[in-house]
Amino acid sequence: MQAAERLRFSLTIRRVRIDPERKRVQYLRRLERLIRDLDGIIADPAGVEPIRLRAMDMMVRTVRMCYLIVRDVDVERLEHELEELKEENQRRRAAREEQRADFSPEPTRPPGPG
């Protein structure tokens, strides 16, 4: 029998925040480049018909992808805004609670002879 082998595994966890605006720009630039290249294939008068048709199909899918990316990134942006809104809401609640704690009204006396 062979000696037991040891496996050492290291995992580092870190929080990564995605910048939706930057991601959107990156993806849209890549898609614009695809559209430009596909347009060149489609517009080539010496192009082979089946290749041009495939390029047209890819063009349609690329344009659809542009819309999907915009929606996905918009959702990420809205989720980020919601987190900021929640944090602000918590800060304001805490401040309001502090104000209530600082304000202690005098006890009221019941009306009557006195």
CA distance 80 to 19: 9
Q: pLDDT value at position 2?
A: 62
Residue in 29, 38, 35, 19 with CA at minimum distance from that of residue 77: 19
CB 37 within 8 A of CB 62: no
Residues of the chain below pLDDT 70 = 1-3, 104-114
Q: Where are the alpha helices (DSSP H) in 6-48?
A: 20-43
Distance CA(42)–CA(48), nearest Å, equals 9
Asked if residue 77 lies in contact with residue 20, where contact means CB atoms within 8 angstroms, the answer is yes
Q: The pTM is what?
A: 0.50
Q: What are phi and psi of 6, to 5 degrees?
A: -105, 140
